[in-house]
Chains A and B, each alone.
Chain A
Amino acid sequence: MDILHFIEMAFWLAIAAIGFAILFNVPKRTLIIIALLAAVGGSSKLLLMHYGVHIIIGSLIGATLIGILSIPAAHGKHAPPLVFSIPAVIPMIPGAFAYKTMLGFIELTSEISTETYDLVLNQTINNATIAVFVIISLTAGVSFPMLITRKTSAKKIKIIS
């Protein structure tokens, strides 16, 4: 296992999250926390995938981690949890699968033999399903703390009581 590679990936995850955070105009005081959350959540997904966990489960766990950590961050920096969690999970959005799905659909429109058509159709549906389920697991992971504590506001969630 290449530790340096993982550190580099964590760095790029943080950079990607900061880019989107600035695009979404988050308050300046939250930028560093967003970078840290993205690095932690994204790296845990990559690490799990390295040990053979499926991408959907990996994304769910990574996003849940981000969702849970965004509650203390929200308390500390006085901003709603979504400010931290949405930019932090965006680097985990399955861009590659969505891209392959799109390429597949474009290929399906061209004139190809029945065998190739079946093959391309199979791959396209597979990629599309993975992309959709990864996005659902990202959302479910981010809203996990709210669902499990049955509170309507993060302010009412006591971290240590």
Chain B
Amino acid sequence: MNIPLHPNKPLQETADCLLEIGCLLMASGASTNRIRITMERIADGLGYETETLTTQRTIFVLVKDLKTQEVYNSFKKTPPHGANFTLVSGISKMSWQVIEEKWELNQIKEELNRLTKLNRYPLLITMIFVSFADAGFCRLFGGEYIDLCTTFVATFIAFLVRHYALSIKFNPYLSIVFASFTACLITSFARFFGIGNHPDLAFATAVLFLIPGVPLINSFSDILDGHIMNGMVRGTNAMVIAFCISLGMLVTMLIFNF
């Protein structure tokens, strides 16, 4: 059998584009089934057949040109993970446009370029709303309004700590330990000086913004879809994050000797 050393250009470009889409989806928190279906749908719209192998850190794709029966395959490593549902939503919408409006490869590339350049919410807005979310958790567990204030302040500062730690390229898990430790330290002061009626609730809820919600839910939905390996990888990741949160709490507890 003759394998051409330089497969045709469109085939190669399609494979690279598909890999880019798959990696972006994996990093943004889509489930494995969604990644596979989206990549297959886009390849189908462009007239190619594809098989994929998706893992947490690398994506492998095999593209087959249906007309010439040529085959091309390639790997790509995923960027650092961080939930970004605007990207997931944009790519999903695009995958349908590829089929329904018969998009070309160039249009897909332009749309991808536009989607990746979209801004996230401003840092201050995110911090305020996340702090309100933790205050909401405190209220749901039965805290009173003064405890809500403690939770708000603790979350606000802890979020800043994690953001700064990530921006100076600390290990993501270590950043979570720092954030959890900061949040617990601040709420422990409230507990130490007797501010509020349920300072222990503030202590428990100020770290909840760190909970690995997306990996946890994706882990179980991957397992339900039969992607057991990916489900276990994501589950382990979620467990390690939970462990990091409790490590921060444990250190504070040892300092204050509760």
Contacts and interface: CB of A to CB of B under 8 A. Distances in A.
A83 B140 contact: no
Interface string A103-145: 0011000000000000000000000000000011011101100
A24 B217 contact: no
A41 to B, nearest CB: 13
Given A19-B133, A25-B121, A102-B249, A139 B126 contact: no
Interface residues of B, number: 50
Nearest to B92: A80
Size bracket of the A interface? 35 or more
Contact of A95 (B96, B131, B137): B137
Contact of B250 (A13, A98, A106): A106
Given A27-B86, A106-B246, A152-B33, 12 more contacts: A15-B132, A15-B135, A16-B137, A24-B85, A25-B83, A25-B84, A86-B214, A93-B211, A95-B204, A106-B253, A139-B224, A142-B217
Contacts, number: 139
Interface in B236-257: 242, 246, 249-250, 253
B164 interface: no
Interface in B116-155: 120-121, 125-126, 129-137, 139-141
B89 A27 contact: yes
Contacts of B216: 93, 135
A40 interface: no
A13 B217 contact: no
B175 interface: no
14 contacts: A15-B135, A16-B140, A19-B134, A20-B130, A22-B125, A23-B83, A25-B85, A86-B85, A86-B214, A93-B211, A135-B217, A139-B217, A139-B220, A152-B37
Say whether chain A's binding surface is mostly helix, strand, loop, or mixed.
Answer: helix
Interface of A: 8-9, 12-13, 15-27, 30, 78-80, 82-83, 86-87, 89-91, 93, 95-96, 98-99, 102, 105-106, 135-136, 138-140, 142-143, 147, 152-153, 155
